C-alpha cells in the first residue's frame, strides 16, 4: 500500500510539473503545429503514467483524467480551442482545469441543477448497490443487466458531484455538471450529446467531430459528412475505452467495447438522419423506454461483459477497503 501511495505522489507530481511547463512555455508559442510539438512530450508522458499503478482505482482515475481528458485538452489548446481557452488567470486554475474533469459553466442559470435531496437519494441507492453486489451470484440475469449500468452511473455521478462541489468552493466559480439525468434521455442523440458524461462531448466535438466533418465535406454530401463525423467520434471513444481497460487489466484488448461504441455511433447517425427526413415521433415515455432499454441491453453484452470477466468491481471494492484501513491505521498512529 505504501508503495502504491508513493507511486501516486510521483505520478501526480510529474503531472503537475508537466502542466506547469505547458502554462509557461507553450502558451507563449503561436498556436498551431509549433505549439502542438511543444506539448506532445507531455501527452506521451500522460499515456505512460497510469502504468505505474497496480490498484485499478488509481490506474483508471489517472487514465481518465490525464491520458484521455488532459491530452485532448492540451491538443485542442495547441490550436486555440477547447476548455482551456480563454487561458485561466493563474497556474493553479490551469492545473485544475487541465488535470481534472471539470469545465467552467458558461450559463450560470443552467437548468441542470437539481434539488439536493435528489443527490442524497442517489447516494443512498449507491450504498444499497454496494451491498447487493455481495449476492451477485444468486441474482437473476435480468436484474444483472440493469445492475451494472446503474452502478456505473451512480458511482460516477455521486463521486464527480462531490468533486465538483469541492472545486467550486476552492476555485470560486460555477462548474458544469457531469451528468444531466441520462435516464430521462428520449433518444441516443439526447443521451450521448446532452446527458451522459458532458465533459467528453465538450472535448470530442471540437477535437474529433468537427475536424472529421470538415475533411469529409468536400468529398461527399453533407449527410454523409455528418455520418462520418458522428461515427468517427464514437469509434475514437471506443478505442479510448479499450485503452482504459488495458491500463486496468494489462491484457490484450477484446474489442468488445469498441464494437459497442461503433454500434452506438451507427445507430445515433441513423437516428439523426431519420429525424431530419421524417416527422415521425413517439411519446416521451415510450422514447425513454426504448432509448434506455437499447443502451442497457447493448451495454451489458458488449460493454460490461469485460468488467464482469475481470471482476473489476470486486477488485475496486477490495482496494477501497485496503485504502480505508491504511488511512485508519496511519491516523491512529498519528493521534497516539
CB-side neighbour CA atoms (13 Å) of 148: 24
Q: Which three cell numbers stand for residue 100?
A: 481534472
Write the pLDDT tens digit of every residue in 244-262. Answer: 999 998 888 889 999 999 9
Domain that includes residue 111, residue range: 107-177
For residues 42 and 60, state if they share a domain: yes
Alpha helix (H) residue ranges in 50-187? 56-62, 71-78, 91-99, 116-132, 141-171
For residues 231 and 310, state if they share a domain: yes
Of 72, 101, 130, the one marking the end of a domain is 101
For residues 95 and 21, state if they share a domain: yes
For residues 204 and 248, state if they share a domain: yes
Of 55, 81, 101, the one marking the end of a domain is 101
Write the pLDDT tens digit of every residue in 268-312. Answer: 999 888 888 777 778 889 999 999 999 999 999 999 888 888 877
For residues 270 and 162, state if they share a domain: no
Of 177, 192, 222, the one marking the end of a domain is 177
Residue 43's pLDDT is 97
For residues 145 and 203, state if they share a domain: no
Grade residue 16 by pLDDT with cuts at 50, 70 and 90: very high
Q: Which residues contact 19 (CB under 8 A, 6 or more apart)?
A: 42, 70, 94, 95, 98, 99
pLDDT at 108 over 70: no
Q: Which three cell numbers stand for residue 95?
A: 492545473
What is the DSSP code (8-state) at residue 198? Answer: T
- The total number of structural domains in the chain stands at 3
For residues 70 and 154, state if they share a domain: no
For residues 78 and 20, state if they share a domain: yes
CB atoms within 10 A of CB 124: 12
Percent of the chain with pLDDT over 70: 97
For residues 206 and 131, state if they share a domain: no
3-state secondary structure 248-277: HHCCCCCCHHHHHHHHHHHHHHHHHHHHHH
For residues 127 and 259, state if they share a domain: no
Cα 251 from Cα 254, distance rounded (Å): 9
Amino acid at each position: 500500500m505504501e508503495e502504491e501511495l508513493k507511486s501516486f505522489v510521483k505520478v501526480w507530481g510529474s503531472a503537475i510539473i508537466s502542466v506547469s511547463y505547458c502554462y509557461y512555455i507553450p502558451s507563449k508559442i503561436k498556436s498551431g503545429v509549433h505549439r502542438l510539438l511543444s506539448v506532445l512530450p507531455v501527452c506521451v508522458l500522460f499515456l505512460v503514467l497510469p502504468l505505474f499503478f497496480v490498484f485499478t482505482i488509481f490506474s483508471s482515475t489517472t487514465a481518465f483524467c490525464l491520458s484521455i481528458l488532459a491530452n485532448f485538452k492540451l491538443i485542442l489548446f495547441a490550436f486555440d480551442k477547447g476548455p482551456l481557452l480563454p487561458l485561466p488567470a493563474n497556474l493553479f486554475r490551469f492545473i485544475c482545469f487541465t488535470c481534472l474533469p471539470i469545465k467552467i459553466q458558461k450559463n450560470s442559470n443552467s437548468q441542470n441543477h437539481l434539488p439536493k435531496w435528489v443527490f442524497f437519494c442517489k447516494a443512498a441507492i449507491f450504498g444499497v448497490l454496494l451491498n447487493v453486489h455481495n449476492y451477485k451470484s444468486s441474482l437473476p440475469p435480468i436484474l444483472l443487466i440493469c445492475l451494472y449500468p446503474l452502478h456505473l452511473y451512480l458511482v460516477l455521478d455521486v463521486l464527480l458531484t462531490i468533486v465538483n462541489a469541492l472545486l467550486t468552493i476552492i476555485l470560486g466559480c460555477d462548474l458544469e455538471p457531469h451528468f444531466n439525468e441520462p435516464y430521462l434521455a428520449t433518444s441516443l442523440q439526447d443521451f450521448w450529446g446532452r446527458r451522459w458524461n458532458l465533459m467528453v462531448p465538450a472535448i470530442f466535438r471540437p477535437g474529433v467531430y468537427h475536424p472529421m466533418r470538415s475533411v469529409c465535406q468536400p468529398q461527399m454530401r453533407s449527410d454523409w459528412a455528418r455520418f462520418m463525423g458522428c461515427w468517427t467520434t464514437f469509434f475514437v471513444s471506443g478505442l479510448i475505452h479499450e485503452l482504459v481497460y488495458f491500463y486496468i487489466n494489462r491484457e490484450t484488448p477484446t474489442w468488445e467495447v469498441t464494437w459497442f461504441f461503433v454500434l452506438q455511433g451507427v445507430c445515433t447517425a441513423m437516428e439523426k438522419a431519420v429525424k431530419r427526413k421524417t416527422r415521425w415521433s413517439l411519446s416521451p415515455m415510450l422514447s425513454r423506454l426504448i432509448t434506455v432499454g437499447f443502451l442497457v441491453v447493448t451495454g451489458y453484452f458488449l460493454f460490461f461483459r469485460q468488467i464482469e470477466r475481470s471482476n473489476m468491481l470486486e477488485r475496486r471494492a477490495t482496494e477501497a477497503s485496503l485504502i480505508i484501513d491504511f488511512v485508519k491505521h496511519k491516523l491512529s498512529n498519528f493521534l497516539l
